[in-house]
Amino acid sequence: MIPTKICGITNLEDAIVAVENGASAIGFIFYEESPRAISIQKAKSISEQLSESISRIGVFVNHDKVFIDKCIQSVPLNMIQLHGDETPKFCNQFSLPVLKALRIKNQDSLSIMNNFNVAGFLLDTFSNDQYGGTGKIFDWSLLNGESKASIILSGGLNSNNILNAITAVNPSAIDINSGVELSPGVKDHEKIELLFKNLKKTKSTGFNFG
């Protein structure tokens, strides 16, 4: 099965359901303005009650290195996802693998990928109003299936379109947030189960979330 991250985890019950259904990773969003924001202490508490086999990924938006390092050490995290306007230089100063999120609007949105030396790129849908979690897809044909980098596909994915998305993009992994929610930060367990029922038809890519 393709490696899958369930992002926007805010409570233990949702985390357990994600793990039991086959998630490779869970995402904690430390961006205070997100409706799915979580505190360091809450993320640490959830993490301590999960198997070490599940990767913990911290999502940050224009945070400083001191705060990110505190999260890495406290939770602890296996990988970080930088979802703001971070520079290539900023991304290169961490001991953990880094995913750089890019908000895709057009072909030019992809042109900066060559500037970064990161473990992979999380491609999400562009919005003027928010950093991710839009629930909308972008034009998958922009990728043309030609990227040599590890691509983690995000943005508007759910059980209905996930197999078509994987066929169209051939990503290294997928990231799902709003597509398995009842409301921001609260997961729908039936949607998670249906998602993974479909994902079991896919093959592993070998990508590792940290």
The catalytic residues are 7, 124
Instruction: Judge contact between 195 and 20, C-beta under 8 A.
Output: no
- Please work out, in degrees rounded to the nearest 5, the angle formed at the alpha carbon of residue 99 by the alpha carbons of 44 and 106: 135
- Positive/negative CA dihedral, 94, 99, 103, 106: positive
Q: Kindly state the tokens that stand for 104.
A: 């895709």
Which residue, among 107, 87, 109, has the nearest Cα to 98 in the 3D structure?
87
In one-letter notation, the amino acid at residue 45 is: S
